[in-house]
Structure 1
Amino acid sequence: MTKRSAAAKRPRRERGSLNPEDIIEGAFELAEQVSIDGLSMPLLGKHLDVGVTSIYWYFRKKDDLLNAMTDRALSQYVFATPFIEARDWRESLTNHARTMRSAFLGNPILCDLILIRSALSPHAAQLGARQTEHAVASLVEAGLSVDEAFDTYSAISLHIRGSVVLQRLYDKNKEQDAQAGAYYDDIVVEPETTPLLAEAMAKGRKSGAPDDHNFEYGLKCILDHASSLIGTQQPAATSTPRRASKAAAAG
Structure 2
Amino acid sequence: MPKQFTSVWIREPRQPKASGLRLDQIIAAAVELLDAEGLDALSMRKIGAKLDAGATSLYWHVANKDELLEWVLDEFWGMVEVPEPDEAPWREVLSNFAYNFRDTLRAHPWGASLIGRLPSMGPNSLRLTDRLRRTYIRMGFRGIDTYLASGTVMSYVLGVVTPEIAWSKTYGDATIDRETVITMMESVSGDYPELMADYREISPTDTDVARAMAFDFGLLCILDGLEHRVPGTRPER
What is the TM-score of this pair, normalised by structure 1? 0.65
How many residue pairs were aligned? 205
TM-fit CA distance, 1:16: 4.6
Kindly tell me: are residues 162 and 83 of structure 1, through their superposed partners in 2, closer, same or farther at Cα, counting changes over 3 Å? farther
1-side partners of 2:147 and 2:19: how far apart?
49
Contact residue 90 and residue 223 of structure 1 kept, 8 A: yes
**Mean Cα displacement is larger for which, 128-137 or 48-57?**
128-137
> Aligned letter for 1:81?
V
Over 3 Å counting, the alpha-carbon distance change for 1:198 and 1:151 in structure 2 is farther
Q: Which residue of 1 aligns with 2:36?
A: 33
Match of 2:194 in 1: 196
1:45: how far off? 1.2
CA distance in 2, matches of 1:56, 1:87: 43
Q: Distance in 2 between matches of 1:103 and 1:211?
A: 15
Q: What residue identity is the alignment partner of 1:194?
A: Y
Q: Which residue of 1 aligns with 2:48?
A: 45
Q: Cα gap change, 1:127/1:146 in structure 2, threshold over 3 Å: closer, same or farther? A: same
The equivalent position to 2:65 in structure 1, one of 62, 74, 80, is: 62
- 1:6-155 equivalences in 2 (<5 Å): 16-77=19-80, 80-84=81-85, 88-113=89-114, 115=115, 118-123=117-122, 126-127=126-127, 129-140=129-140, 150-155=147-152
Would you say the 8 A contact 1:104–1:111 is kept in 2?
yes
CA 1:123/1:91 → structure 2, altered by over 3 Å: closer, same or farther?
A: closer
The match for 1:231 is: 234
Per-residue deviation at 1:205? Answer: 6.1
Answer yes or no: is the 8 Å Cα contact 1:42–1:52 preserved in 2: yes
**Which of the numbers 158, 162, 166 marks the counterpart of 2:155?**
158
Partner letter of residue 104 of structure 1? L
Aligned twin of 1:220: 220
Aligned with residue 168 of structure 1, among 165, 177, 187: 165
Sort the Cα spacing of 1:96 and 1:76 in 2 relative to 1 into closer, same or farther, 3 A. Answer: closer
Letter in 2 for 1:120: P
Amino acid at match of 1:60: A
1:50 to 1:227, Cα distance in 2 relative to 1, 3 A: closer
CA distance in structure 1 between the aligned counterparts of 2:165 and 2:77, rounded to whole angstroms: 18
| Secondary structure of 1:231's aligned partner | coil
Distance 1:60 1:215 in 2: 39
**Structure 2 stretches of 5 or more lacking a match?**
1-17, 175-180
Q: CA deviation at 1:95?
A: 3.1
The structural deviation recorded for 1:46 is: 1.0
The one-letter amino acid paired with 1:137 is I
Give the partner amino acid of 2:166: L
> What amino acid is aligned across from residue 63 of structure 2 in structure 1?
R
RMSD (CA atoms): 3.6
Secondary structure of the structure 2 residue equivalent to 1:119:
coil
Query: Contact conserved, 1:105 with 1:111, CA < 8 A, in 2?
Result: no
Tell me the distance in 2 between the aligned counterparts of 1:213 and 1:86: 28
Q: Give the aligned partner of residue 13 of structure 2.
A: none
Residues 191 and 205 (structure 1), Cα distance of their counterparts in 2 relative to 1, 3 Å cut = farther
- Whole-angstrom distance in 2 between the partners of 1:85 and 1:156: 20
The alignment partner of 1:211 has SS state of helix
Structure 1 residues without counterparts, runs of 5 or longer: 1-14, 179-184, 235-251
CA–CA separation in structure 2 for the residues paired with 1:158 and 1:226: 14
